Amino acid sequence: MHGYNPQELSLTCLIQLTYHGKCYIIDVLTPEVWKEVTPTLKSIMSDPNVIKIGHGVSFDVRALSRDFSLHVVNVFDTYEASKVLGLEEKGLAKVCTYYGLEEGEEYKRLKERWQTCDWKRRPMEEGQVRKHWN
């Protein structure tokens, strides 16, 4: 496992996952949490009976391998699926819209504000992570 180095240009800053109906946001940029990621998530990420679903997750899978030596198996990538299906627009919001899941104004506002922010900065700003979902 690589050492903790928040100055690294490309670094896993947060891990978001839903497991057994609960959403988890893991802030890995503290040394105590960083060193617990591998032993905590290894069995889930390597379990072929647990399906991992994401959009454009190839970079995420490489980052989890690089930063935590996690080998993610049984991944369904909705971006890759959109390519196979021949969809013209492959962004997550466009794929959702194609299948009748309209993006709301709040989603647009949050995406515009936070998608390209510096996720390595601590403390995080108010609003970077929502504590309550409707």
Q: For residue 75, count other CB atoms closer than 10 A to its CB.
A: 15
Pairing of the two strands 52-54 and 75-77? parallel
Question: 53, 31 in Cβ contact below 8 A?
Answer: no
pLDDT of residue 1: 46
Digitized pLDDT (tens) for each residue of the chain, 134 residues in all: 455 554 446 889 999 988 888 888 899 998 999 999 999 999 999 999 999 999 999 999 999 999 999 999 999 999 999 999 999 999 988 898 888 887 778 778 888 888 888 989 998 888 888 765 54
What's the rounded Cα separation, in Å, for the pair 90 and 55? Answer: 9
Check residue 21 and report its DSSP letter: T
Question: 75, 54 in Cβ contact below 8 A?
Answer: yes
What are the helix and strand counts (H, E) for the chain? 5, 4
What's the rounded Cα separation, in Å, for the pair 105 and 113? Answer: 12
Q: Specify the pTM.
A: 0.80
